[in-house]
Amino acid sequence: MKKLLLISFLILILAACSKEDEPFLIILTNEVPAQKDKKKTFFTKPPKQMRHCTPCHKFENGGKNHIGPNINDIVGKKVGQAKNFRYSKAFAEGEWIWTRENIRLIISRGTGAATEVVKILSGDPNAKTNMKFYGASDSDAEIILDYLETLK
């Protein structure tokens, strides 16, 4: 009940802050949606938008953790699964899946600070994270998401 109340409250706050002429929608899901006829993006190296992520994360296959965990092959995985990384309680005990939508929530500027998103995803109003990221622009977030989906 607390989780539903917190999510409802946060959605109301976000809706009140959105522009009137733009539709407002937040999707929280643990399902990985099938890709629609989206043109596949190929990367020969990490895009410049990853500058938002590289201070804390590594994303090479088999790479070591850094300040944050290695995020290679994160899309579709359960939260808190990187080996040899000491997660906050919210991430270590989290039950959500890193879907494109859930990753967008945590990296998008319009959503707010990462700690607020972790509170929503975990359902714990006291959840905390050491992630000090306040969001990428919508266009940067989409490029980051496209890149993360290519990592296996």
Please tell me which residue, 99 or 3, carries the higher pLDDT value.
99
Residue 80 lies in a domain: yes
Residue 29 lies in a domain: no
Separation CA 94–CA 119 (nearest Å): 10
- Per the listing, tokens 């929608």 go with 25
Give the mean pLDDT of 138-144: 93
Q: What is the CATH number of the domain that holds 138?
A: 1.10.760.10
- Please tell me the total count of domains within the chain: 1
Please tell me which residue, 132 or 87, carries the higher pLDDT value.
87
Looking from the CA of 117 toward its CB, the CA atoms found within 13 Å total 25
Q: The whole model's pTM is what?
A: 0.70
Q: Name the residue range of residue 123's domain.
A: 46-150
114-134 per-position pLDDT tens digit: 888 899 999 999 998 888 887
| Token output for 77 | 């995985």
| Token output for 48 | 């410049």
- Asked if 132 and 114 touch (Cβ cutoff 8 Å), the reply is yes
